[in-house]
Chains A and B, each alone.
Chain A
Amino acid sequence: MLFTIGDYLAGSILGIVTALVVRAITWPGMDMVIAMLVGMAAGMVLHLVVGLVLSPCLGMFETMMPASLIGMYGGMFFGMRDSMAAGSATHAAAAGVGAIFGVVVVLGVKVYDAILRGTVLDVGE
């Protein structure tokens, strides 16, 4: 139970950090493709840092796999929103979207894990 709460907290923290960092390095009117690439690169770096810090508490793969998706796709998503000025008006609102994005990704990975988990081959003795 504590690990599950930790997974969602880690996802929301990484989502918030990614959203705020991408907001700091992109701006409205920036070329959207460049903003998405910059956001993706920043998200990838952030996921490694946050993942390494949190993995001793939550487990290497349980941390790194959702974190990599949040970093990569979240970075692109936040970069696109900020370059179009289509996103959140304030930093707090951007952080909120980041937190929600992180939680949704963690939930999605957990659902996918539940689908994949279990025996995939058993030929008996």
Chain B
Amino acid sequence: MTDRVTQEKWDAASRTFDLFTFADDRRLGPHKRRLFQKIRGATLMVAAGTGNDFKFFPPNLQLIAIDISPRMLERAARKAAAYQGSIDLREMDVCNLDFPAATFDTVATVCTFCSVPRPVVGLRELHRVLKPGGQILMFEHVRSAIGPFGILLDLMTPLSSRLGPDLNRDTVGNVQKAGFRLRRIENVYLDIVKMIEAVKDAAA
């Protein structure tokens, strides 16, 4: 069942989403492009949003991109059409994926697990739909481990979560809780914005 509260929140956020991500796309885009060079095989993008990140994918991919918000997907359709490859947009909740087990070789996420209300459940679903040996490539912001920054992010989260994401998630820990093995972590801004790469072990 789709999480209606989350869906409505992101439907509302879709109106101003491109405005608030304008500068982030330009400052962080090169890092996303570098991360997504590692995409291989059948690929699922989670939380497509308004499609701002499609331009950072290498050309000629055939991927499925999901989002919980139909309003976001409406805005993403134009950017998907402009992509030099194929992007199949679908409305779906990451906590309840409509794909068989072991479907994908790669899962890509951008600022997704700051917003999923049950992140470990969502990550376990991604673990399920990945093939053994498959990889998850994540561009996420997390709680800082640095005292003053961490406290500030904790203080801001009650406000930010009403309009958008939580700012104090332990996404690296959640990835491990979901059964993934960490392969690589890179700090992009302080220790808050990170690129996280993890794999589903072949034996899993």
Q: Are A48 and B159 in contact (CB under 8 A)?
A: yes
- A1 CB, nearest partner CB in chain B, Å: 12
Q: Are B192 and A65 in contact (CB under 8 A)?
A: yes
Contact status of A123 and B187, CB under 8 A, knowing A48-B159, A59-B23, A60-B20: no
- B122 CB, nearest partner CB in chain A, Å: 22
Q: Are A58 and B23 in contact (CB under 8 A)?
A: yes
Q: Which DSSP category, helix, strand, loop or mixed, fits chain A's interface?
A: helix
List chain A residues, Cβ under 8 A from B23: 3, 55-59, 62
Query: Which of A59, A119, A125 is within 8 Å of B27, CB to CB?
Result: A59
User: Residue-by-residue, is B118-148 near A (CB-CB < 8 Å gives 1, otherwise 0)?
Assistant: 0000000000000000000000010000001
Contact status of A59 and B184, CB under 8 A, knowing A68-B152, A68-B156: no
Chain B interface residue count, CB cutoff 8 Å, equals 27
- At the interface, yes or no: A94 with Cβ under 8 Å from chain B? no
Query: Which of B22, B141, B185, B186 is within 8 Å of A61, CB to CB?
Result: B141
Q: Are A119 and B183 in contact (CB under 8 A)?
A: no
Bound-state Cα–Cα, A88 to B185, Å:
46
Q: Are A123 and B22 in contact (CB under 8 A)?
A: no
Contact status of A56 and B182, CB under 8 A, knowing A48-B159, A120-B187: no
Q: Are A125 and B183 in contact (CB under 8 A)?
A: yes
Q: Which residue of B lies closest to A109 (CB)?
A: B190
B 175-204 contacts with A by CB, 8 A: 182-193
Q: Specify which of A58, A116, A122 lies most central, judged by the most chain B CB atoms within 10 Å of its CB.
A: A116
- At the interface, yes or no: A121 with Cβ under 8 Å from chain B? yes
- At the interface, yes or no: B98 with Cβ under 8 Å from chain A? no
Contact status of A116 and B191, CB under 8 A, knowing A122-B184, A123-B182: yes
Contact status of A56 and B189, CB under 8 A, knowing A119-B184, A121-B184, A123-B183: no
- At the interface, yes or no: A46 with Cβ under 8 Å from chain B? no
8 A–B contacts from the bound complex (CB under 8 Å): A3-B23, A3-B27, A55-B20, A57-B23, A60-B24, A61-B24, A119-B185, A123-B184
